[in-house]
Amino acid sequence: MFSHSALQQIQRDLGQYFVAYLSQLTETYRQRGEASIIALDDLDKEWDQIRQLGLELLAAGSREDIDLCAGLVQSLEPIWLVRIHPRDTLELLEKLLNHLSHQDQRLARLSILFLLGEVHRHLSDYQLMRDYFKLADELAEQLGRVWYTRQIAIKLAHQLTEESYLDEALAKASWVIGDTTQLIDDQQAEAAIIIGFIQVQQHNYDTAIHYYQRALDHFTRQNDLVTKIRTLTIMGNAYSTKGDYRSAEPYYIRALSVNQGVKSKYHQANILYNLALNANRWGAYEEAQYYANQALPDALTAGNARLIARVKNAVAIAHLRLGRYDLASNLFQELTSYTRKYAYDNSWVHAIANLVQTWNTAEVYERAFHALRKYLPEVLDVHSNNRSRFRVVSLGVWTLAGVNAMSSNYYRLFGFVQAHTEMHWEAPTILAKAKALRPDSALNAQSTEPPLTTEDALQLLAKVVENLVYEE
């Protein structure tokens, strides 16, 4: 029988072995190409033992044991979340952070704070992400660790684009990318991707593709397979958003091919989702449903809440386009609850807009009006960008036309939508629908519910108009 002290020493010896082994594994990963895949495969085999060893070292609690656990985590930092599910890392990171001294283990604290920010980003816990990144950024500045400062700026810029704060995202990404006349490094390539995404949102597709190509050239030179997958995917997205659907598809197929070696569930789901989105855009709705249904199990396995919502949304949109209105409305209602749970304000407003659009398209305007009546007051109380608010206004105009509303405010709203048709992608379709309906009489509501009358809805929509004018 081993004594307790002997068992502790065995754990420490094993910890020292793994620190050296994992450092070598990370170096192998940094060689890129097939070597990186071998490193990831080896980590898959050892992860459960590494995680358990780390927790046991923390339970022992001596300074030597804590330092060893910190060494395990720091040695894995570059590949921490490439394949390992973020929830599988959370307990170890949180417990380790609680054991680290504020005074003399500052580099280890910096690494753990950064990793916790990244874990919560993957888990879509964005407030916690910001809290940890803020602490990490402050510590990085104190220690003069510029890599962390730039990397945090990249992560935050990426999130800001998700939330449509494009000016703030552009400022952070531009700071990172700096002078682009020379060959760029990894972080500058990441910043180029963010700038490309912003250019897509602003409909500057050729500029976006230029930035994406610079990033893709860099990651191809480096033979960085993981980031190459992501860059190929967003390159496809740029062509798809531009309307060049046929040119988009080969980029997605190339990304799937590269991922066969990387074996990332998240990237697999994300590529399939984008194939579904592309198919929806060109009208191949059955194909879109096929790709989205293929993506959903991998998205659920990866555990990325935002990606799960996007995949379900792609399925629902295909149902809508195929005239399966009950199926579409059920999914959009599910998404309103799901996106609210994760505080995805912009996605929540779009889910509501999609629900209203489903019933408008089905010409069941009373149901669309009921959805507006239910959600509109809340829509005004949450943060959302101009684009999503504009959808509410546009779809509200269509709905009010459908229920034969007649009001000077209706025409005011109609005029506002008409004046902004070049700024928002669905406005022309919605305007055409609303014009065709030619409202000529007021709605006499028979509902036993007391909530909003047609006039109330008009006034609330007018408020959205005021907010839009103010925000712009």
Instruction: Please write the tens of the pLDDT for every residue from 142-155.
Output: 999 999 999 999 99
Strands, E, within 253-374: which ranges? none
Other C-beta atoms closer than 10 Å to the C-beta of 63 total: 11
In order of their start, the domains of the chain are 1-143 (1.25.40), 145-223 (1.25.40), 239-322 (1.25.40), 338-472 (no CATH)
Which of 163-168's residues contact partners 24+ apart within 8 Å by CB, and which partners?
A: 163/345, 163/346, 163/385, 164/201, 164/346, 164/385, 164/387, 166/198, 166/201, 166/202
Mean pLDDT of the chain: 86
What is the pLDDT averaged over residues 180-184? Answer: 76
What is the pLDDT averaged over residues 405-413? Answer: 75
Within 13 A of 153's CA, how many CA atoms are on the CB side?
Answer: 23
pLDDT of residue 215: 92
What is the pLDDT averaged over residues 50-60? Answer: 90
Q: Measured between alpha carbons, how far is 21 from 7 in angstroms, rounded to an integer? A: 21
| Selection from 128, 138, 70 nearest residue 99 by Cα | 70
Question: Do residues 301 and 265 make contact, with C-beta atoms less than 8 angstroms apart?
Answer: yes
Kind and range of the H or E run holding 377: helix 365-381
Question: Do residues 42 and 29 make contact, with C-beta atoms less than 8 angstroms apart?
Answer: no
| Percent of the chain scoring above 70 in pLDDT | 92
Instruction: Please write the tens of the pLDDT for every residue from 5-34.
Output: 666 777 788 778 888 888 888 888 888 777
| Percent of the chain scoring above 90 in pLDDT | 47
pLDDT of residue 345: 84
pLDDT of residue 12: 81
Question: Do residues 279 and 305 make contact, with C-beta atoms less than 8 angstroms apart?
Answer: no
SS3 assignment, position 243: coil
Instruction: Please write the tens of the pLDDT for every residue from 214-251.
Output: 999 998 988 888 889 999 999 999 999 999 999 999 99
Please list the alpha-helical segments (H only) found in 61-162: 63-76, 87-99, 106-122, 126-143, 146-162
Q: Residue 382: which pLDDT band, with cuts at 50, 70 and 90?
A: confident
Q: Residue 335: which pLDDT band, with cuts at 50, 70 and 90?
A: very high
Question: Do residues 124 and 299 make contact, with C-beta atoms less than 8 angstroms apart?
Answer: no
